[in-house]
Amino acid sequence: MEQTADIRELNEKIQRESAIIDLITMEMNKVIVGQQHLVESLIIGLISKGHILLEGVPGLAKTLAINTLATTVDAKFSRIQFTPDLLPADLLGTMIYSQKQEEFIVKKGPIFSNFILADEINRSPAKVQSALLEAMQEKQVTIGAESFKLEEPFLVLATQNPIEQEGTYPLPEAQIDRFMLKVIINYPKFEEEKLIMRENLAKSFPIANKVLKTEEILRARDVVREVYMSEKIEKYILDIVFATRNPENYNLKKFKGLISFGGSPRASINLALASKAFAFIRRRGYVLPEDVRAVCHDVLRHRIGLTYEAEAENISQEEIISEILNTVEVP
């Protein structure tokens, strides 16, 4: 009886706190036409402390979507254009000599913001990409002998273009694993594109308003972690992740020679957290198997390594994840 009362209380709390979802969605829909999955994924990252990697051809509003999300929250925003000549100091900051004070002082870089748009992240070499690692994982930056904590919420939203590989530096596995979600963006539908064309030809382009404070985001993050997850759902998540490592144990022998490495423990953590965030967006105080399935592709697609045999047979991570979801027993 007590547990029922607890869940009822949690549901009421979620009803209150999840009002921010409507506010963000409403403002983003003013600017972004369609792309519901993209908007939802950005919100999942925002309310569950997860960094997001967006991949899509140019012109699909990746940068605009991130800009708009940052506009809706009263927070600091930095857009960093990654180029081959970018240096770690351009990102983090450096020590400069002050003649007035006769000593070296720290000049902080653009990483000291709440929202970081790492535009075309694969255009910069590994030393710049790895400069993001400490910031993304430890939420701190070291300049000289000093370490500086980054303000919460801290969210890295990176974009990359999948088609043009000239002059790019693919993200190493250790770096890509730090992104909670990898979201693939597709072309808009016919009617959506007609609306996009009209909006861009109009005299004024719609602008999102600031509707949230950072405290509201931090409060929502705490509530997301309170969302109830049963032991059966935990087992379901672990079965999915373990099936990427040992497919032969889950009647998926055909994938044994096709997967070079499966999801790390970060995959299990992020799949559980993203499922809770998805339930929160749906105004629920508990996680269903459908929530896990809804976020599974975005959480796992960048965490499964393919062998040369898989590439030769044109088998993608998407197919492997779909097959795992169809095979692993649903609670």
Distance, C-alpha 259 to centroid of its chain: 23
Rounded Cα–Cα distance for residues 206 and 189 (Å): 20
Rounded Cα–Cα distance for residues 204 and 206 (Å): 7
Q: How many CB atoms lie within 10 A of CB 71?
A: 19
Q: How many CA atoms lie within 13 A of 73 on its CB side?
A: 26
**What is the per-residue pLDDT across 228-277, written as a single tens digit (0 to 9) for each?**
898 999 999 999 999 999 888 888 888 888 888 888 899 999 999 999 99
Q: How many CB atoms lie within 10 A of CB 303?
A: 23
b vs e for 1-12, b when ≥16 Cβ sit within 10 Å of the residue's Cβ? Answer: eeeeeeeeebbe
**What is the per-residue pLDDT across 178-220, written as a single tens digit (0 to 9) for each?**
899 999 888 888 888 888 888 788 777 778 888 888 888 888 8
Q: Running DSSP on this structure, what letter comes out for residue 125?
A: -
Q: What does pTM read for this prediction?
A: 0.86
Q: Delineate the domains of the chain, giving CATH numbers in brackets.
A: 2-215 (3.40.50.300), 228-327 (1.10.8.80)
**Inter-axis angle of helices 214-226 and 19-31, nearest 10:** 120
Comparing 53 with 104, the larger pLDDT belongs to: 53
Show the CA angle centred on residue 196, arms to residues 192 and 201, nearest 5°.
150
Q: Running DSSP on this structure, what letter comes out for residue 286?
A: B
Whole-number percent of the chain with pLDDT over 70: 97
